[in-house]
Structure 1
């Protein structure tokens, strides 16, 4: 299909406008939202658009707390946030290699157990049940867990534990987070940080019910 000059100009202008919109984001999250595996701020590139959109709304509306994020998003409408989410979701960029682990072999083994099997006796589902067998997320609204900094994963699990991070009801991660101990959090975050990201890091399709009701997937399983 041949595109007119006007169409190309319009597309170029739209791209430039989006780059201006997200200029503040890349200060912390890296160029194109690629981030790194050794810092604190999470990767945005390639995450499900629905997930990114809901997190932007949560920062704006006070369900998640971060002074800079709240300030930047305070006056932005939903449509604007959705376009930002779609922009970063469409960035498919390579991941850095895993960082060396600082945990003991016993801690790593505990982290792998929680990620792959959970702790049914305590009502803790395995990470793979919701975040996919490859832990790259599940469409449309569950993020991947591999390729993220250890400190970031630990801090977010801690925020679910303390109630400092919330989601729309039914808030499945708040339910899981309240059952995790500090040792659980350090173990699973540390193990996840050692895992390589698959060549195809796209989210899995939702081909089975979740173990609990979750707003990330539209409510009840």
Structure 2
């Protein structure tokens, strides 16, 4: 059946059209003029369409949480998408016209949001895989020069100010995709690229294990990123702090 087969017969078409047009006019007459509010929240609806309401993360498992992440980290990622270190054409197209100053405003907007973290999810992983994931996250693997996730991402895995993200509340598919992209050289960060170094030492089973364990962890009641630490990182990391300068 086509659209045109649903139209009324020719002798009734004009009457139906007049009735429909009149029905449309009634609500229009009753409407009041609404002024567009030029706020950051209104403008950021282009982001939350994919990243979920208030940047909480989308349910499909591939768009990460933005809310509450350190502003320096979010700023770095916006720069990376805009300048080609991270490859996702839609993000690049959205960000190409924007200045560094405005990208920082976007980052600060989402960093200031305090919304609940999702409950942990069940994953398809064996107890042995989860145990391996816990080891990598909390203790690392010295035999392979793999630092623990907590060494950089904070003891509670909620991130460290100003530029290191939390790892909780992220879908397993997203974690797998990002670690895999670093391992394959498809995702890059400011040099020295510490995550690329770490990911390239991880095997596929390591990535599956650590992403499974992280996805099953409950965020603590206080999920804020930790204060900046004076302790040295296990390796040099160019993205631990936001870069200075850039486009006006």
RMSD: 1.6
Of the candidates 127, 135, 139, which is equivalent to residue 105 of structure 1? Answer: 127
8 A contact 1:37–1:96 mirrored in 2: no
Aligned 1:194-205 pairs, distance under 5 A: 194-205=216-227
C-alpha deviation, 1:188, in angstroms? 0.2
Equivalent-residue separation in structure 2 for 1:182 and 1:103 (angstroms): 14
Deviations 1:63-84 (Å, cap 9, x if unpaired)?
A: 0011111111111111111000
Residue 60 of structure 1 aligns with which residue? Answer: 82
**Structure 1 counterpart SS, 2:67:** coil
Equivalent-residue separation in structure 1 for 2:60 and 2:49 (angstroms): 16
Structure exhibiting the larger radius of gyration computed from Cα positions: 2
Aligned: 1:210 with 2:210: no
C-alpha deviation, 1:121, in angstroms? 1.2
Q: Give unmatched runs, 5+ long, in structure 2.
A: 1-34, 243-248
Equivalent-residue separation in structure 1 for 2:59 and 2:41 (angstroms): 23
Q: Give unmatched runs, 5+ long, in structure 1.
A: 1-12
Q: Aligned residue pairs: how many?
A: 206
Residue 162 of structure 2 aligns with which residue? Answer: 140
**Structure 1 counterpart SS, 2:201:** coil
Equivalent-residue separation in structure 2 for 1:170 and 1:20 (angstroms): 36
Deviations 1:36-68 (Å, cap 9, x if unpaired)?
A: 566221000000000000100000000001111
Aligned 1:131-210 pairs, distance under 5 A: 131-207=153-229, 208-210=231-233
C-alpha deviation, 1:96, in angstroms? 1.4
Residue 49 of structure 2 aligns with which residue? Answer: 27
Of the candidates 150, 160, 169, which is equivalent to residue 128 of structure 1? Answer: 150
Deviations 1:96-145 (Å, cap 9, x if unpaired)?
A: 11111211111101000000111111111000000011000011100000
Residue 115 of structure 2 aligns with which residue? Answer: 93
Residue 9 of structure 1 aligns with which residue? Answer: none
Equivalent-residue separation in structure 2 for 1:92 and 1:210 (angstroms): 28
Q: TM-score, normalised by structure 2?
A: 0.80
Cα separation, partners in 2 of 1:37 and 1:206, compared to 1, 3 Å: farther
